[in-house]
Chain A
Amino acid sequence: MTVTVTPTADVPTGPAPTARRRTGGRSVLRLLILVAIVAVVLYPLIWMVGTSVKSPEEIVNNVGLLPERFSPGNYTAGWSNFDVSFGRFFLNSAMVSLLTVAGNGLSCLLAAYAFARLRFRLRGVWFAVMIGTLLLPQHVLIVPQYILFRTLGLVGGDWPYLPLLIPQFLATEAFFVFLMVQFMRGVPRELDEAARIDGAGPYGIFRHIILPLSRPALVTTAIFSFIWTWNDFFRQLVFLSQLEDYTVPVALTLFIDSTSQSAVGPMFAMSVLSLLPVFLFFVAFQRMLVEGINTSGIKG
């Protein structure tokens, strides 16, 4: 902004350039440490993928990272390990996750617009309440919610996903409301004023200014909603009771019951598959995920 844009802006944080020669050895050491940490971080993941393509004998005898012989049979065995195929579980998970994305995006955007832009009675109070719900653990609400949805006949009903989805269409994920409010506060108010002069009311401003400009916040919300719902276990465990309604995480726990060694390979194969969507999201949106954490403090 100011004229005194100085060369210091280009200097990387940390030691001054003169110190560079002295730190040569140090930076090699640092790199070695980092590589070691990468090995620790990636080991379980590589071992998981490796084990998923080991034959039953190798799973017992070879606990190394990689199989001696590549045997992908675990994937077909795991896919149809239960009376209902994993294809169904994946479809169920995808449906719940995508509808959650839609619900969160829509309802949180509406609430955030009200908080960020509109003046109405008790706005401050409601905003404080919203912030208060940020830290509310879901475990506290699960019992009464279960009773409520059960009383309404929605648990194990014709379409058992309603108890999972209804809250998502009512902006109960305060993190996303907060994230969007923060984002919208950065949108210049002059745009609102200009639209107002052109005769737009609150709805027009939402439609023509806020909605298109909030795309980045919407994308961040969508990615996190998807990943969290895809990985979520607690609510899905509580609300889904029929095998054919199970989502992937709930179905995976069925493997634990069968303790036989022969189930380990298929169990690992399905675990790998279940993490694949999250991994692909990570590869595609890595930068955005990391920045989403930074701007909002969202936990991954």
Chain B
Amino acid sequence: MALTTAPDPTRRGPGSVRAHAWRRGPGRLRHSEGLAGYVFLSPWLIGLMGVTAIPMLLSLYLSFTNYDVLTPFAEAQWVGLDNYERMFTADPSYWHAVRVTVTFALIAVPLKLAAALGVALLLNRAWRGVGLFRGLFYLPSLLGGSVALAIVWVNMFNRDGAFNSLLSLFGITGRPWVNDPDWALETLMVLAIWQFGAPMVIFLAGLKQVPTELYEAASVDGAGRFRQFRNVTLPMLSPVIFFNLVLETINGFQGFTAAFVLSNGTGGPVDSTLMYTLNLYITGFTELQMGYASAMAWVFLLAIAVITAIFFSTGRFWVHYSDGEDR
């Protein structure tokens, strides 16, 4: 093995010498590489400016105005901090939407991650059929975000949907879950948890990285399965848990499609599924209050940034990174 790879350094010798000489040569080449860098980067740079940065600044400006889209942009009417003031002090439905969104994320995200981790642990023992199960469990993550699946979901939890007929087998009389303000959001949470496959796949990959020796050492020390899970699996898996937690929380805050389908774009019944993004959509595109919607968008962005920052700053207390190991 070592012998066959021996020629490698000698072959590399002249090459690197030449490369060195070349790099030392006229600055023209370096300059041309710098130019090429910007040539290759130009689509992304144009996109960054035109599709991301300028719209963001535009949105910041709009958030201090009243603007209904129908008039030319120049006629946006400057109102100072009015939009923000209204949002924080005079708009109960805004706070309602915040509450709905936070409730959704606080319940659905931990349950989804728990399901993902639990199933990943079940699948982690190597045997035939893992690939099949893994694939089947992943399927909902591909389909679940679509309008089609949201439609199916709403019908499944209807008064005479499949879920109630399942309950009636056990003698339980169900209710029209999706039309019940106390339960509509819960059906959306179940839909989110049903898509546990994507984080599960990431957990599985993380579990494979845990060195077997650690389990052997732990069991030599007399640790049972639960102790092994607590003291080996969880710490070794904490970076992956952290990653999934950040990603799923941010995604959870952005739930739109299913809430839109369930309520036919209104956030009902009785605003129980008025997710933040749905509220933003209604404000901007149904009520044409683009200025107010822009203010909502900026607060949303800042909230997500703050939450992410909180995750990262608390992460160092519980996320364990093993040193000296690259991946």
Interface positions of A (Cβ within 8 A of B): 3, 8, 11-16, 27, 30, 33-34, 37-38, 40-45, 47-48, 51, 60, 63-65, 107-108, 110-111, 113-115, 118-121, 123, 126, 129-130, 133, 135-137, 139-148, 150-151, 166-167, 169-172, 177, 190, 193-194, 196-197, 201-203, 206, 227, 231, 233-234, 237-238, 248-250, 252-253, 255-257, 264, 267-268, 270-272, 274-275, 278-279, 281-282, 286-287, 289-290, 293-294, 297, 299-300
Contacts and interface: CB of A to CB of B under 8 A. Distances in A.
Nearest to B42: A110
Given A272-B148, A299-B247, A110 B43 contact: yes
Contacts of A51: 155
Contacts, number: 316
Interface of B: 1-2, 12, 15-16, 18-19, 22, 30, 32-38, 40-41, 43-48, 50-52, 54-56, 58-59, 62, 67, 69, 72-73, 119, 122-127, 131, 133-143, 145-149, 151-153, 155-156, 160-162, 164-165, 194-195, 197-198, 201-202, 205, 207-208, 210, 212-213, 215-216, 219, 243, 247, 250-251, 253-254, 256-257, 260-261, 264-265, 277, 280-281, 284-285, 290, 293-294, 297-298, 300-301, 304, 308
Contact of A294 (B67, B126, B201, B285): B201
17 contacts: A13-B124, A14-B125, A45-B143, A110-B44, A111-B41, A120-B33, A135-B308, A137-B253, A143-B290, A144-B55, A196-B22, A231-B147, A275-B148, A281-B142, A289-B142, A294-B205, A300-B195
DSSP majority for the B interface?
A: helix
B133 to A, nearest CB: 6
Contacts of A119: 30, 33-34, 37
Contacts of A137: 250, 253-254, 277, 300-301, 304
Contact of A193 (B16, B43, B135, B257): B16
A180 B249 CA distance: 25
Contacts of B47: 107, 167, 170-172
Contacts of A197: 15, 18-19
B160 A63 contact: yes
Contact of B194 (A44, A142, A147, A297): A44
Contacts of A203: 36
Given A63-B162, A140-B300, A3 B1 contact: yes
